[in-house]
Every structure is written in C-alpha cells, then in structure tokens.
Amino acid sequence: MPPLPVFVTTHIHTDGPIPGPHSLLTLTSSAHPSTNSPTRPISTFGVNVRELPGATVHPGALQTWRRRPEDWLASHRASRAPVTAMNAYLRWVEHLPGEPTLLVDTAQPDHLFLYWYLVRFAGRWPFAAVVADPVLRGQLSEPFCSLTGCRSTAA
C-alpha cells in the first residue's frame, strides 16, 4: 500500500511579485495528516530568509512594508542564507510521515516562490504532488505567521 499523503500548507512574505529579481523573506509551513476532518498540524516549520544579492524591493511591496515597519524588521530578524534556509526546509519535508503533498491556494504565489527557491538553492522539489483544493485547504489550519499584518489584514 502506498504511503498516505501528508498535506503541507505554506505562507510566505516577499519583497516583490516574482522570485529572482525579488526575494522570499519569510516562509512558514504546517503539515497535516491525510484525513477528512480538520486537524491540528503534526509538524510546523518557519524561517526568515536573507534577501538575494542584487535583488530589489518592488515599489508596490515597498508601500506595503512601509505601512508595516515592525513586520519588516521581524521578517529580517535572525534571517538565514537562502541555501541554508531551503536545505533546512527540504530536510523538514523529507522527514514528514507520509507522501508530502503541497496544498496550494492558486490565488497566492506562495508555491511559485517555494518552487524557485527549492530548486535554485536545495537542488530539487521534494513534493510528490501539488493539489489545489480550496475545501480541503479551508479545513486545515494555516501556518503560524508571527507578523502582525497576518493577523489584521491579508499579507
């Protein structure tokens, strides 16, 4: 019998709309067992990621971050180099109990940044599948985000 999926949800913050010219700043993920009922996460991961050399802050993102200076500072606190952060994330995913399945919100770019960063800095994509299921995603708790903007408005 093949392993059951373990669903991974993600939440990120960036300084622009696309990876490369802009940077991933924060990454949080929660892993949930395969089930038909809402569950608490079985594991979580969170990291602040250093900005890419030569990357810039997009003007639209700059306006958002200017309204949230405490979150800008929090997203840079104890940040790790992208290669270190992505390899730690890869190890976390590989140690989950089941077949890692990324559960995405297609309206958010989280999975696109995650894909680019993992392939660029860790050398591979660890997920067996990517699923866009808004009903299932709504049943699972969102990854914990320590930024105040996550609690008051959409980030």
Residue extents of the structural domains in the chain: 5-152
* Predicted confidence (pLDDT) at residue 155 exceeds the cutoff of 60: no
* Predicted confidence (pLDDT) at residue 20 exceeds the cutoff of 80: yes
Give the pLDDT score at 74. 95
Give the pLDDT score at 145. 85
DSSP single-letter state for residue 121 = I
pLDDT, averaged across the chain: 90
Give the pLDDT score at 36. 60
* Predicted confidence (pLDDT) at residue 153 exceeds the cutoff of 50: no
- Sheet order of strands, 24-33 included: 43-48, 24-33, 5-14, 99-103, 129-131
DSSP single-letter state for residue 139 = H
Mean pLDDT across the stretch 24-50? 88
Dihedral angle sign, alpha carbons of residues 35, 36, 37, 38 = positive
Could you give phi then psi for residue 5, rounded to 5 degrees?
Answer: -70, 150
Give the pLDDT score at 133. 83
Mean pLDDT across the stretch 35-43? 75
The domain 5-152 is classified under which CATH number: 3.30.420.10, 3.40.1190.20, 3.40.50.300, 3.40.190.10? 3.30.420.10
Helix (H) or strand (E) holding 103: strand 99-103
Express each pLDDT in 112-126 by its tens digit. Answer: 999 999 999 999 999
For 115: left if phi > 0, alpha if psi spans -120 to 50, otherwise beta; the answer is alpha
Give the pLDDT score at 37. 59
CA 110 and chain centroid, separation: 6
Indicate the SS3 state at residue 128.
coil
pTM: 0.91
Distance in angstroms (rounded) separating the CA atoms of residues 102 and 72: 27
**DSSP secondary structure letters along 60-99:** HHHHHHHT-HHHHHHHHTT-B-HHHHHHHHHHHHHTSSSE
Lowest mean pLDDT among 4-13, 80-89, 90-99, 133-142: 133-142
Distance in angstroms (rounded) separating the CA atoms of residues 142 and 28: 9
Work out the pLDDT band at 38, boundaries 50, 70, 90: low
Residue 11 pairs with which residues in a beta bridge?
28
